[in-house]
Amino acid sequence: MMIKKILLIIVLGLLLISCSEDKTEKMLETCADENFVKYGHDEIAPLLLSLELKGKLLSDPYYQYHARCENDLRDHPKTFKTTWDR
């Protein structure tokens, strides 16, 4: 019985970690999307932003915005999460 409880706790912990990573990825993508449009890529934004993240990252300008957002998350996690958690 004790082993089942421990296993349940481990499984729930792994699920929470997985959900947290998905949420962080979505915040990074939202940050990169909005900055990409905000800083002058209006002409290609509708086409690019309709792609999945892997496709977006093939665009060098988008890749740079995503990398900057990753840096912001690393350097200022609380501010980043407050700003981009929607």
Distance CA(51)–CA(29), nearest Å, equals: 11
Mean pLDDT (whole number) for 7-19: 59
Is residue 9 in some structural domain? no
Is residue 57 in some structural domain? yes
φ, ψ dihedrals at 43, nearest 5°: -65, -35
Against a cut of 0.85, is the pTM above it? no
Q: Cα 69–44–57 angle (5° rounding)? A: 40
Q: Into how many domains does the chain fold?
A: 1
Boundaries of domain holding 63: 22-84
**Radius of gyration of the chain from its Cα atoms, rounded to whole angstroms:** 17
**Per-residue pLDDT, 44:** 87
Is residue 29 in some structural domain? yes
Is residue 3 in some structural domain? no
Residues of the chain with pLDDT > 90: what percent?
Answer: 63
Is residue 11 in some structural domain? no
32-66 pLDDT per residue, tens: 999 999 998 778 889 999 999 999 999 999 999 99
Distance CA(5)–CA(69), nearest Å, equals: 39
Token pair recorded at residue 36: 């990409």
Segment (H or E) for 30? helix 2-38
Least-confidence region, from 13-17, 38-42, 54-58, 80-84: 13-17
Is residue 50 in some structural domain? yes
